[in-house]
Amino acid sequence: MTAHPAPRERSAASVTVPMALLAELTHRCPLACPYCSNPLELTRADEELSTAEWIGVFEQAAALGVLHLHLSGGEPASRRDLVELVAAASRLSLYSNLITSGVGLTETRVKALADAGLDHVQLSIQGTSAASADRIGGYKGGYQRKLAVAGWVAGAGLPLTVNAVCHRQNMDELEAMIALAVELGARRIEVATVQFHGWADRNRAALMPTREQAAAATVLVAAARERYKGVIVIDYVPADHFATYPKACMGGWGKVGLNVTPSGKVLPCHAAETIPSLTFESVRDMPLERIWREGAAFNAFRGTDWMQEPCRSCERRDIDFGGCRCQAMALAGDPAATDPVCVRSPLHGLLVEAAERDAAAEAGAFVYRGR
């Protein structure tokens, strides 16, 4: 493990204004997706921020300059005060985006959310039939509910994005997933290849796409973008284990967005708690702006000063910021290392070997959380 500089405070000049806040309202969720990126240790319901505390967070975020508020979970519809929270976001002129599985929503509730000022809905799909989607999500009846929710969202006049996490066991349905999103009236679909954070790592061998699947998905997305031009926008996160360079995770650490966990901890990204050397402040103890500007975790990997070689002298360092810190931690054991997804990382060969090994393993049954 390579030593890296201790987290330190930066001058205010190097700190940007965050664009987005992801509010993980709760970890409670009726689904049990095997690729869940929530931590292994979930926050209990009695530890969650209260309605007033969440509204206080939204007020501080708006004052800090945040424009986009993503309401996520777990399943945010598990919060009884969801309509109240959306109304508060609307009063603060925050653009609110509900990221939901759809389970827990009713037609009346969707209408109430729209009336409260909700701006946008992101609905996840796990597959294109009840058999495949309900098996992957670990929730019987989920698929039918999602189809209904998409109709209620359209009926309430809310714009819809469909989220589809792709992996070995549903990647062959990708074309049908895009067609389904069009059928549901979505303006956008986010096709994201599975990332191995949180619970997903437990299901690595069942989820890792093969190199052939990953390549076919890229070709399919390019063709679909042509075919559906003007109908639906397709955002695509390719399989990074078979990529050449990493993605700019979070648009750069401490640069564009921040996450607040159900109990109020403020994180630079949703998986940051997997980096054991970091400590996180809570909105229960410190103002949000101070955490964003001065928090040790936020300053640990801001900018480029913390980088090691080969990133330090690389011409792409301001493009991808050395990749994902959590992936560097998971795969290299050092959060300041070059993300092993990068071909210039000395660990890249080992990463590809492990991915090929996982992809060749028997797909097998999923390990569902708590079951």
Q: Establish if 194 lies at the interface with ligand FES (CB under 6 A).
A: no
Pairing between strand 257-260 and 266-267?
antiparallel
Distance CA 279, CA 273 (A): 8
Q: Are 306 and 4 in contact (CB under 8 A)?
A: yes
Instruction: Specify the length of the chain in residues.
Output: 371
Interface residue with ligand FES among 15, 105, 272, 330 (CB under 6 A) is 272
Question: Which one of 180, 314, 337, 351 is in contact with ligand SF4 (CB under 6 A)?
Answer: 314
Closest to ligand FES by CB, 48 vs 339, is 339
CB of 327 to ligand FES, least distance (A): 6
> Given the complex with ligand SF4, which of 139 and 321 has the nearer CB atom?
321
- CB nearer to ligand SF4: pick between 143 and 196: 196
Contact 339, 4 (CB under 8 A): no
Burial grade of 102 (CB within 10 A; 0-12, 13-18, 19 or more): buried
Burial of 360 (0-12, 13-18, 19+ CB in 10 A): exposed
Q: Quick check: 337 binds ligand FES (CB under 6 A)? A: no
**Beta bridge partners of residue 210, listed in sequence order:** none
| 323 is a contact residue toward ligand SF4 (CB under 6 A) | yes
Residues within window 227-266 making contact with ligand FES, judged by CB under 6 A = 249-250
Which range, of 150-158, 210-218, 323-331, 349-357, touches ligand FES by CB under 6 A? Answer: 323-331
Nearer to ligand FES, 33 or 150 (CB): 33
Instruction: Candidates 95, 225, 310, 352: give the one binding ligand SF4 (CB under 6 A).
Output: 310
Q: Does 245 sit near ligand SF4 (CB under 6 A)?
A: yes
When asked if residue 325 is in the footprint of ligand FES (CB under 6 A), the reply is yes
Among 102, 198, 254, 322, binds ligand SF4 (CB under 6 A): 322
List, in sequence order, the alpha helices (H) in the chain: 51-64, 82-91, 107-116, 130-137, 142-155, 174-183, 204-207, 211-227, 288-294, 296-300, 317-320, 325-332, 348-360
CB 47 within 8 A of CB 262: yes
**CB of 269: closest distance to ligand FES in angstroms?**
3
How far apart (Å, rounded) are the C-alpha atoms in residues 18 and 135?
Answer: 38
Q: Which does residue 324 bind out of ligand SF4, ligand FES, none, counting CB within 5 to 8 angstroms by kind? A: ligand FES
Binding footprint of ligand FES on the chain (CB under 6 A): 197, 249-250, 269, 271-272, 324-326
What residues line the site for ligand SF4 (CB under 6 A)?
A: 245-246, 310-311, 314, 316-317, 320, 322-323, 338-339, 342, 344
